[in-house]
A and B are shown apart, each in its own frame.
Chain A
Amino acid sequence: MNNAERTRRELMIRFIREFFDGTLADSIDRIPVELRPRTEEPNRCCVYKDRAMLKYRLMALMGFGMEEEKDESRQLKEYLADAVEGRNHTGPVLSVCTVGCHGCVDSHVQVSNSCVGCFARPCVGVCPKQAIQVINQRSTIDRTKCINCGKCMTVCPYHAIIRNPLPCEDACPVGAIGKGEDGRVRIDFKNCIYCGKCFRACPFSAIMERSQLANILTAMKSGRPVVAMVAPSVSDQFPGTIEQLFTGLRKAGFTEILEVALGAEMTTEHEAEEFYERMERGDRLMTSSCCPAWVEAAKRHIPDIVPMVSSTPSPMGYAGQLAREKYPDALTVFIGPCIAKRREAQNDPNTDFVMTFEELGALFAAREIDLISLEGEQLERPASVFARNFAHSCGVSEAILEQMGHDNPDANLPKIDGKFINGLDRKSVNLLKMYAKGKLPGNFVEVMACSGGCVGGPCSLAR
């Protein structure tokens, strides 16, 4: 576990504990100082920068980005008062804290000191732009010609050519993040798909997600019924059994609990039907639609594929409907490993808030709920194995295949020829553009933005 993850989680635990103790308003402005006393070695350039970043991180936990800070002297407790009243969450779910941004250099390929100016000089030969010459016994890259393709890196027998990364930009599958003229990073929200890869990649923790913790905790504390809708990917996230997790969720303050896997069962059923309808009417291809980052990517970057994206609601969509019907007075909270779900929830009237697995872990820790020592709760109706596996890459297709086996044991209908995109990156986005143009075989494409499926999500607890 790296320092950034650890700091984020410790801060969450403290925030939640003091929120429930009722001491947070008094202590919140002191937290950055207490966690980073002058006497300790700073992690950034100085202890004051450390504290400033903790302050912005606390703001993010209350749903505020640095962009909303109009008055720098405004105290955290004032933000807390706003958050408790629900006066937060107006901006996009991701935010760059430019104060923390290191201003990394632009990503580029360079020759290191390990170059020995060898006789074979494969780098010179492989360069498609003739950008490399050996000068004074050392390979030299002409920056005006270099396109940073990295071919020279792969052929160098001394590993002397390296890529100097800009981690957030390198991680973004759709080119939505990069450096502005001031050298600081900006997210272009016209292009952002909220996959959260930049959030994971930034070594300075400068990219933050706007949390809804304060809103959820406020509802719990006020005694309002709150439904936990737990994503299928929860299965490997916590110690103990799902029955113990249910007990833990109740102890933590949720009044009702719903497995989103039940929604996944509905998604599977309808998506299988939709697939047959589409194939019958002569469609060439259908893609899955349960990954919200993929749906955003299709809309923003591959318009040709949009008509092929399944119109079946996601498991969260169905689970939200179930929760609303069953508990009309309750607040609904989707709990998962995903940042893009925050975005999906903004357009879903049945999901009020989104909480991450990391936040749920912090909630259990703060409330001293020890899952493996709890008595498990009998589930009203456990979800099927296939639905619970939905969150693994290929899980959607497997569930649909299983469903088709039930519905059409000897159908004359076209067989599903499933393909999988296991994680979005620049390469797979290009592949999907080819699928859109009909240049690749297959009639069903399952797309998961995170490698391994939701279980590899940016806010998972145990990765």
Chain B
Amino acid sequence: MSETNKIKVEICLGTTCYVLGSFRLSALEEQLPPELKSKVDIVGCACLNVCHDRNYGNAPFVRIGERIVDNATVEKVIGVIQEIVSAGGTNE
């Protein structure tokens, strides 16, 4: 758990994810609804090593807390964050 108790959002910048669209996720920070801004910590990360299991079908990946989101788009990631927040969850 991060000391600030924020939900950690890790955008995979491994090459497969990047080539298949994670470069678009840099827009996540600015498109995040204002009420979520203080609740998440968005970072880029090295290969999450999940692409190797799935024959590249589901990249790009994002890890939100412990949860892996595949076919990640800005909208999908925001949806998952909202789910976690409304369930009262944090990074724990």
Task: Give chain A's interface residues, CB within 8 Å of chain B.
Answer: 1, 6, 9-10, 13-14, 238-240, 358, 361-362, 364-365, 368-373, 461-462
Contacts and interface: CB of A to CB of B under 8 A. Distances in A.
Summarize A's interface: helix, strand, loop or mixed: helix
A461 B20 contact: no
B37 to A, nearest CB: 23
Given A370-B46, A372-B46, A373-B47, A9 B15 contact: no
A145 to B, nearest CB: 45
A364 B15 CA distance: 6
A361 B15 contact: yes
B68 interface: no
Q: Select the residue from A238, A370, A373 with max chain B CB neighbours within 10 A.
A: A370
The 6 residue pairs across chains A and B that have the minimum distance between CB atoms: A462-B23, A361-B19, A1-B21, A239-B13, A364-B15, A365-B16
A9 B19 CA distance: 7
A10 B21 CA distance: 11
B65 interface: no
B59 to A, nearest CB: 9
A205 to B, nearest CB: 16
Interface of B: 13-16, 18-21, 23-24, 44, 46-47, 56
Contact of B20 (A10, A239, A370): A10
B23 A461 contact: yes
24 contacts: A1-B21, A6-B20, A9-B19, A10-B56, A13-B16, A14-B56, A239-B13, A239-B15, A239-B18, A239-B44, A240-B13, A361-B18, A362-B19, A364-B19, A365-B20, A368-B15, A370-B14, A370-B46, A371-B13, A372-B46, A461-B18, A461-B23, A462-B23, A462-B24
A10 B54 CA distance: 13
Q: Which of A239, A361, A371 has most B Cβ within 10 Å? A: A239
Given A1-B21, A1-B24, A462-B23, A372 B16 contact: no
A450 B14 CA distance: 28
A190 B23 CA distance: 37
Contacts, number: 52
Contacts of A9: 19-20
Nearest to B49: A370
Contacts of B16: 13, 365
Nearest to B24: A1
Given A1-B24, A372-B44, 14 more contacts: A9-B20, A10-B20, A13-B16, A13-B19, A13-B56, A361-B15, A362-B19, A364-B15, A364-B19, A368-B15, A370-B14, A370-B15, A372-B14, A462-B24
B15 A365 contact: yes
Nearest to B44: A239
B19 A370 contact: no
Given A370-B47, A373-B46, A6 B21 contact: yes
A90 B87 CA distance: 61
A158 B4 CA distance: 51
Quick one: which of B13, B14, B18 has the most chain A CB within 10 A?
B18
A166 B56 CA distance: 33
A6 B16 CA distance: 11
A317 B13 CA distance: 33
A213 B20 CA distance: 19
Nearest to B51: A365
